[in-house]
Amino acid sequence: MCGRFVQIIDVELFVKRFGVKKPAEIRVQDNFNVSPGELAYVITHDKPDQLQVFQFGLTPHWAKKPMYLINARSEGDFNKENDVNYAGELGISQKPAFRTAIKSRRCLVIAQGYFEGPEKERLSKPFHIYKNDQEVFTFAGIWDTWADNTTGEVVHSFSIITTVANEITKQIGHHRSPVILEKKDEKKWLDETLPLQDVLSLLKPYTRDDFQADPVSIRVKDPKNKDRDLLIPVDHDSTTQYNSIVKKELKLVGMGRNRRKEDPLGRQGKLF
């Protein structure tokens, strides 16, 4: 699953990267731990030139009360064993909560990173996963609009679509991964006229080797923690990791390119 992600608000970058208009006001702030129920910027198929603020955790339009469906399995009820080599039917279009959205309510979820942990420990042993060049990327998202009949409140919300583990989530021992779109496929994802079969063909694990993972503090497990220090690498084997002790050399082999660098988020060390 993908239940936490990083969204650093850089409007000028978003305008240049996605070809959107500069919003009249900034409605959300930097969030280094976007959690279910919180607001984030997305770009939808019907307004591809705008940044819109939606709630993380989809509530289908037909629901009687608010729901927080943060992830939508691309396989639906199939592949319950999460076989990484699964090549069968994708059942997302058969699920009542997602079948309309996958056909006609798709969105790009903007991110600079996300958090995941091993299948058993989950966020008790978290890793921050991000691009080697710290560039923004997008998750394949779906959205819906729900109206509260008692109050009249209208809620726009989204889910992140997941698939089987990609190379980097396999390295940390997790059985799923979010669908990360290649830049060339982002406009295609927003194309409402795209045949469903072509839409489903985009729901696959990310295969490029331009992501890496840093072990980070268990503080990320608490959604109240939102600060930049959540991205500081730590030693999961250290009893003092709760104080964000920086791990100088990361040796998680296979999670990215071998190079030494200092990045704008303040992380230093040898990154693998």
pLDDT reading at 248 higher than 50: no
Superfamily covering domain 4-124+134-211: SOS response associated peptidase-like (3.90.1680.10)
pLDDT reading at 188 higher than 50: yes
Per-residue pLDDT of 96-129, as tens digits, reads 999 999 999 999 999 999 999 999 999 999 999 9
pLDDT reading at 250 higher than 80: no
C-alpha distances out from residue 106 to 80, 88, 143, 186, Å: 24, 22, 6, 10
Per-residue pLDDT of 209-221, as tens digits, reads 999 999 999 999 9
pTM: 0.87
pLDDT reading at 75 higher than 80: yes
167: its two tokens:
């190379």
Most confidently modeled range among 133-137, 244-248, 253-257: 133-137
Tell me the percentage of the chain whose pLDDT exceeds 90.
84
- What pLDDT, on a 0 to 100 scale, did the predictor assign at position 1? 67
Q: Domain coordinates of the chain in residue numbers?
A: 4-124+134-211
